[in-house]
């Protein structure tokens, strides 16, 4: 069985390079005092780091290093170990948040790039790390194989914290968080296969069959997935008629605790169980965001401060004195492998330039799953001869990646253009999943029918499709919605709706039906507007008109967008602020 874990567990583990035991500055500290010092130090150093232009996560990790054995040794290992339930719960909430980004509806236009990226990550990155550790640094093939499998994972907590801190939203962010969820699942499966391979000849049980290398890990993933799905389904049923945010928060907390605790009791990964819980919520109910956020949003900063400050306290760089060359090989090879894998996969997937150039660097942070797997194999008698070395190299590698990774991740988010975009905008409702770039139709009615279908499907509307379509077509018959210059904006009334929704279709060759100015329609946006948003409806129409008339360069790029991701970036990137204004600025 694959046990879960995180950086906090290292406190209780007697690793081979630990310093001689010394008295802590505050002996026999009360757990609440330890927690208070950790929160204050984490928040203070995080704020300082942000003032210096660095990631707040980096400052919190530095605060932990100062509090830990490396500098002050402020508290004893026993005192800090009492906070394990807090950090365990924090990682569970973070995992639910990451899993919540695997919404099949929202990822409709992202499956190609995520699939190719996952394929590249489970092949290129492990091969590069294995080659560097075995052929360049001289490690045994068993150590190299296990380190190569660990190299796949990215720290979900670090990524979620960076996204929150930079207020990022967009195609890059969606791809990044989705990739983290998938590569952690893949890491657990491949590490178990590598574990079985490394044990051959050492456990005296003979060579496993080829199918066992595949079936064993898949059974682990399936069992964990079923547990997470059952917990998510139970929460959805229990809160189906609950609208109070306090009760939703209570239900969320109980479910995360149960999923994590049951998984740990069964020898499964608690983090992975919570990740599948998030996936289930994301795909079963449109209220997923409210359910998760209600338990997380008000204490997010404190949770990050506790988690990353304690993570920093666990880090120890003493092994660099013994195996600095091997550690350096793993760190550099993993970073190179991540960047090359992402660049190659996303180029083949025809992702936008910002995603191709910067995503690999954002995948460098490493903790959580990697540490849990390292600790898991310490109990395997078959690997007794290599387990201490593997643990020392692995934990030191994680320590370095958790220092370098947040810096690279924050820079990638800033360079991608997604930073600062997590604010309400006028055309917020047009996401990547609401956009089609290969719209084909012979008549206006046919094009409108297709986009109404996209609108209902991508927004998961309960509205009657035929009624909405009839509303749009009736308005179109009364008055053409072709604005000219290749833009048409058909619209209808959304009965019982609370917010405007829409779908965009793009045709690079132009749709061959009659228009007032004789220019073929290259961009059609179908809107469905409830009565309470009539004013916004007029603002959106004006903004879309400015989109295609104020800047011919943007118009040409939009009309020839290679993918929904390219179109989304044009609507929401820096240039889009001229028409797609931030609502708080507008107010």
Complete DSSP assignment for 45-68: HHHHHHHTTS-HHHHHHHHHHHHS
DSSP 152: T
548 near 150, Cβ under 8 Å?
Answer: no
The contacts of residue 90 (CB under 8 Å, 6+ apart) are 157, 303, 304, 306, 307
CA distance 128 to 335: 10
Mean pLDDT of 476-501: 84
| Cβ-based burial of 52 (10 A; exposed 0-12, middle 13-18, buried ≥19) | exposed
421 near 170, Cβ under 8 Å?
Answer: yes
CA distance 559 to 562: 9
For residues 469 and 405, membership in a common domain is answered with no
Please check whether residue 307 lies inside any domain of the structure.
yes
| Cβ contacts of 122-127, under 8 Å, gap ≥ 24 | 122/152, 122/183, 122/186, 122/190, 123/341, 124/337, 124/340, 124/341, 124/344, 125/151, 125/152, 125/334, 125/337, 125/338, 125/341, 126/151, 126/152, 126/190, 126/337, 127/337
The contacts of residue 136 (CB under 8 Å, 6+ apart) are 329
Which CATH number is 382's domain given? 1.20.1530.20
- Report CA-CA distances (Å) from 432 to 16, 106, 304: 50, 8, 29
For residues 318 and 284, membership in a common domain is answered with yes
For residues 317 and 272, membership in a common domain is answered with yes
For residues 73 and 203, membership in a common domain is answered with yes
Q: pLDDT tens-digit profile of 34-70?
A: 889 999 999 999 899 888 877 788 888 889 888 887 7
Which CATH number is 551's domain given? 3.40.930.10
CA distance 161 to 333: 25
pLDDT for the residue numbered 385: 81
Phi, psi (rounded to 5 degrees) for 71:
-130, -80
Please check whether residue 423 lies inside any domain of the structure.
no
For residues 153 and 267, membership in a common domain is answered with yes
| Cβ contacts of 453-462, under 8 Å, gap ≥ 24 | 454/503, 454/505, 455/501, 455/502, 455/503, 455/526, 455/528, 457/105, 458/105, 458/108, 458/431, 458/433, 458/434, 458/503, 459/429, 459/434, 459/501, 460/105, 460/286, 461/494, 461/497, 461/501, 461/528, 462/496
Domain edge (last residue) among 355, 382, 416: 416
Please check whether residue 159 lies inside any domain of the structure.
yes
Give the pLDDT band (50/70/90) at residue 514. Answer: confident
For residues 189 and 93, membership in a common domain is answered with yes
pLDDT for the residue numbered 11: 33
For residues 507 and 458, membership in a common domain is answered with yes
Phi, psi (rounded to 5 degrees) for 51:
-65, -30
Q: pLDDT tens-digit profile of 133-169?
A: 999 988 889 899 999 999 999 988 889 889 988 989 8
- Asked whether the predicted pLDDT for residue 484 surpasses 70, the reply is yes
Please check whether residue 471 lies inside any domain of the structure.
yes
Please check whether residue 2 lies inside any domain of the structure.
no
Mean pLDDT of 216-220: 79
pLDDT for the residue numbered 4: 43
Give the pLDDT band (50/70/90) at residue 10. Answer: very low
Tell me which of 158-162, 234-238, 556-560 is least confident. Answer: 234-238
Domain edge (last residue) among 416, 443, 474: 416
pLDDT for the residue numbered 409: 93
Helix (H, G, I), strand (E, B) or coil at 22: coil
- Asked whether the predicted pLDDT for residue 5 surpasses 50, the reply is no
CA distance 279 to 273: 10
For residues 563 and 465, membership in a common domain is answered with yes
| Cβ-based burial of 370 (10 A; exposed 0-12, middle 13-18, buried ≥19) | buried
CA distance 546 to 544: 5
For residues 236 and 357, membership in a common domain is answered with yes
401 near 366, Cβ under 8 Å?
Answer: yes
Q: How many structural domains compose the chain?
A: 2
Please check whether residue 1 lies inside any domain of the structure.
no
351 near 113, Cβ under 8 Å?
Answer: yes
Q: Give the whole-number percent of the chain exceeding pLDDT 70.
A: 86
The CA angle 167-95-433, to the nearest 5 degrees, is 60
Strand partners, 492: 528
532 near 498, Cβ under 8 Å?
Answer: yes
Domain that holds residue 453: 432-586
Give the pLDDT band (50/70/90) at residue 18. Answer: very low
CA distance 328 to 92: 31
For residues 11 and 68, membership in a common domain is answered with yes
Q: pLDDT tens-digit profile of 250-307?
A: 888 888 889 989 998 888 888 888 889 988 888 887 544 556 666 666 777 888 888 8
Phi, psi (rounded to 5 degrees) for 98:
-65, -45
Please check whether residue 35 lies inside any domain of the structure.
yes
- Asked whether the predicted pLDDT for residue 578 surpasses 70, the reply is no
Compute the mean pLDDT over every residue in the chain, rounded to the nearest whole number.
82
For residues 200 and 324, membership in a common domain is answered with yes
pLDDT for the residue numbered 50: 85
The tokens describing 274, both together, are 């919570």
Mean pLDDT of 543-568: 84
Please check whether residue 147 lies inside any domain of the structure.
yes
- Asked whether the predicted pLDDT for residue 9 surpasses 60, the reply is no
Range ranked top by mean pLDDT from 386-400, 404-418, 448-462? 404-418
CA distance 9 to 87: 10
For residues 442 and 331, membership in a common domain is answered with no
151 near 122, Cβ under 8 Å?
Answer: no
pLDDT for the residue numbered 85: 81
Residue 453 exposure: Cα atoms within 13 Å on the Cβ side? 8
- Asked whether the predicted pLDDT for residue 457 surpasses 60, the reply is yes
250 near 239, Cβ under 8 Å?
Answer: no
Q: pLDDT tens-digit profile of 402-445?
A: 889 999 999 999 999 888 888 777 787 888 888 999 899 988 89
In which residue are the tokens 């996204």 written? 163
488 near 549, Cβ under 8 Å?
Answer: no
């Amino acid at each position: 069985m694959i046990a879960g874990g995180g950086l906090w567990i290292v406190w209780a583990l007697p690793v081979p390079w630990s310093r001689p035991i010394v008295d802590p500055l505050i002996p026999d500290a009360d757990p609440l005092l330890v927690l208070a010092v950790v929160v204050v130090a984490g928040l203070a150093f995080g704020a300082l780091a942000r003032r210096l232009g660095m990631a707040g996560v980096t400052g919190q990790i530095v605060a932990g290093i100062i509090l830990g054995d490396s500098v002050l040794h402020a508290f004893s290992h026993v005192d800090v170990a009492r906070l394990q339930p807090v950090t365990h719960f924090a990682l569970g909430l973070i995992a639910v948040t990451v899993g919540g980004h695997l919404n099949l509806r929202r990822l409709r236009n992202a499956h190609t790039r995520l699939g190719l990226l996952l394929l590249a990550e489970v092949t290129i990155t492990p091969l590069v790390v294995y080659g560097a550790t075995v052929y360049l640094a001289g490690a045994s093939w068993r150590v190299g194989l296990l380190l190569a499998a660990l190299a796949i994972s990215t720290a979900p907590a670090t990524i979620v914290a960076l996204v929150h801190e930079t207020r990022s939203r967009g195609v890059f962010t969606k791809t990044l968080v989705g990739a983290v969820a998938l590569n952690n699942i893949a890491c657990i499966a491949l590490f178990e296969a590598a574990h079985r391979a490394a044990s051959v000849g050492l456990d005296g049980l003979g060579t496993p069959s080829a199918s066992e290398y595949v079936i064993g890990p898949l059974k682990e993933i399936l069992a964990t997935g079923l547990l997470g799905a059952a917990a998510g389904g139970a929460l959805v049923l229990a809160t189906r008629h609950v609208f109070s945010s306090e009760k939703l928060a209570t239900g969320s907390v109980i479910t995360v605790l149960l999923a994590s605790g049951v998984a740990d009791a069964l020898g499964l990964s608690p983090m992975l169980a919570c990740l599948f819980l998030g996936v289930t919520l994301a795909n079963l109910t449109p209220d997923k965001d409210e359910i998760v956020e209600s338990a997380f949003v008000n204490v997010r900063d404190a949770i990050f401060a506790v988690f990353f400050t304690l993570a920093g306290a666990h880090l120890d760089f003493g092994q660099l004195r013994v195996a600095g060359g091997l550690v350096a090989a793993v760190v550099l090879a993993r970073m190179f492998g991540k960047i090359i894998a992402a660049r190659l996969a996303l180029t083949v997937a025809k992702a936008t330039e910002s995603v191709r150039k910067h995503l690999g660097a954002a995948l460098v942070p490493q903790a959580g799953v990697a540490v849990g797997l390292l600790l898991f194999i310490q109990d395997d008698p078959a690997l007794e001869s290599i387990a201490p070395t593997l643990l020392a190299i692995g934990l030191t590698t994680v320590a370095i990646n958790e220092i370098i990774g947040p810096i690279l991740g924050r820079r990638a988010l800033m360079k991608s253009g997604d930073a600062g975009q997590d604010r309400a905008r006028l055309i917020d409702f047009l996401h990547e999943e609401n956009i089609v770039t290969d719209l084909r139709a012979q008549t206006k009615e046919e094009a409108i029918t297709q986009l109404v279908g996209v609108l209902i499907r991508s927004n998961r509307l309960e509205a009657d499709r035929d009624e909405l379509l009839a509303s749009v077509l009736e308005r179109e018959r009364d008055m053409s919605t072709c604005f000219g210059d290749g833009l048409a904006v058909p619209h209808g009334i959304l009965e019982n709706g609370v917010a405007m929704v829409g779908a965009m279709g793009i045709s690079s060759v132009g749709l061959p039906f009659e228009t007032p100015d004789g220019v073929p329609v290259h961009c059609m946006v179908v809107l469905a507007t409830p009565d309470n948003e009539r004013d916004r409806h007029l603002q959106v129409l004006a903004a879309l008109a400015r989109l295609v008339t104020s800047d011919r360069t943007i118009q040409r790029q939009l009309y020839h967008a290679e993918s929904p991701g390219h179109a989304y970036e044009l609507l929401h990137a820096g240039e889009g602020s001229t028409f797609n204004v931030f609502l708080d600025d507008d107010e």
